[in-house]
């Protein structure tokens, strides 16, 4: 793939059961939420409810594993939930899942249906390679607060995704920064599916395959590659 993703030894030591699967896509077509992408989210919520069978999202073994890892790097998982648990909680509530744009709807649907954290980055906005590291605390995370752009810094030891320009996602997969997010103008995207034991690697790969199929459906003619998980670099 044209973009290199690396996972630091410190993160590997923290979560030895970590696996990530990458879906790389070019010539995508994005736009506002459609009836079809909205229906996909509704179906994902139904699949989630069947999967949990009355349990709360944090009672799922995969979500419990993420909570343990969050605690291990100093984050409070009941306050800063991983992205999949946060979406699942919304899906099961009266609020329902957010409608953002077609590409975000598609990867959120996969995240909810499979109960796996999924992120989407605009490849044209990533600077250099992407790295999953434990932060020093000096890195910049550009976000929006009160309608205005502001710079935050991660906690020392916090797990973050970053590129050459700074942090792209805080607390592993808790909050993505606006700099690299998928917008209606996005044409090239990188989708990252992240799993921990006890989720079988095959299940993460199945989620990635379903995501690729949906991207092809919503962006006919797109060039899509699913990269098999690797121990250190995708």
- What was the pLDDT predicted at 65? 98
- What was the pLDDT predicted at 231? 38
pLDDT tens, position by position, 28-58: 999 999 999 999 999 999 999 999 999 999 9
Helix or strand holding residue 151 (H, E): strand 148-152
Query: Which domains are seen in the chain, by residue range?
Result: 5-227 (3.50.40.10)
3-state DSSP call for residue 171?
Answer: coil
Rounded average pLDDT over 76-85:
95
- What was the pLDDT predicted at 230? 57
Tell me: pLDDT of 27 over 90: yes
> What Rg value do the Cα atoms of the chain yield, rounded?
16
Q: Is the dihedral of CA 95, 82, 18, 183 positive or negative?
A: positive
pLDDT tens, position by position, 99-109: 999 999 999 99
Is residue 22 within 8 Å of residue 190, measured between CB atoms? yes
- What was the pLDDT predicted at 23? 97
pLDDT-derived band at 234 (thresholds 50, 70, 90) equals very low
Tell me: pLDDT of 90 over 50: yes
149-161 burial, b if ≥16 CB within 10 A, otherwise e? eeeebbeeebbbb
- What was the pLDDT predicted at 147? 86
Rounded average pLDDT over 56-72:
98
- What was the pLDDT predicted at 146? 86
The percent of residues above 90 in pLDDT, for the chain, comes to 91
Tell me: pLDDT of 2 over 80: no
- What was the pLDDT predicted at 232? 36
pLDDT tens, position by position, 183-215: 999 999 999 999 999 999 999 999 999 999 999
pLDDT-derived band at 80 (thresholds 50, 70, 90) equals very high
Cα separation, 118 vs 101, whole angstroms: 15
Cross-strand partners of 22: 192, 227
- What was the pLDDT predicted at 1? 62
- What was the pLDDT predicted at 85? 98
């Amino acid at each position: 793939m044209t973009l290199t993703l690396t996972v630091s030894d410190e993160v590997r030591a923290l979560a030895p059961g970590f696996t990530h699967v990458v879906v790389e896509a070019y010539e995508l077509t994005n736009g506002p939420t459609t009836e079809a992408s909205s229906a996909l989210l509704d179906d994902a919520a139904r699949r989630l409810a069947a999967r949990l069978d009355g349990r709360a999202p944090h009672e799922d073994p995969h979500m419990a594993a993420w909570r343990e890892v969050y605690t291990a790097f100093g984050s409070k998982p009941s306050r800063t939930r991983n992205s999949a648990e946060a979406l699942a909680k919304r899906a099961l509530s009266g609020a329902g899942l957010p409608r953002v744009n077609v590409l975000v709807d598609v990867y959120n649907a996969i995240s909810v249906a499979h109960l796996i954290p999924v992120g989407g980055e605009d490849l044209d906005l990533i600077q250099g390679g992407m790295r999953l590291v434990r932060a020093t605390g000096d890195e910049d995370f550009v976000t929006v607060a009160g309608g205005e752009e502001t710079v935050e810094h991660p906690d020392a030891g916090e797990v973050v995704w970053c590129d050459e320009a700074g942090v792209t996602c805080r607390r592993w997969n808790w909050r993505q920064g606006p700099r690299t997010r998928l917008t209606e103008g996005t044409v090239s995207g990188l989708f990252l599916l992240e799993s921990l034991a006890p989720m079988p690697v095959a299940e993460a790969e199945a989620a990635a395959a379903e995501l690729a199929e949906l991207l092809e459906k919503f962006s006919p003619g797109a060039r899509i590659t699913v990269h098999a998980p690797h121990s250190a670099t995708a």
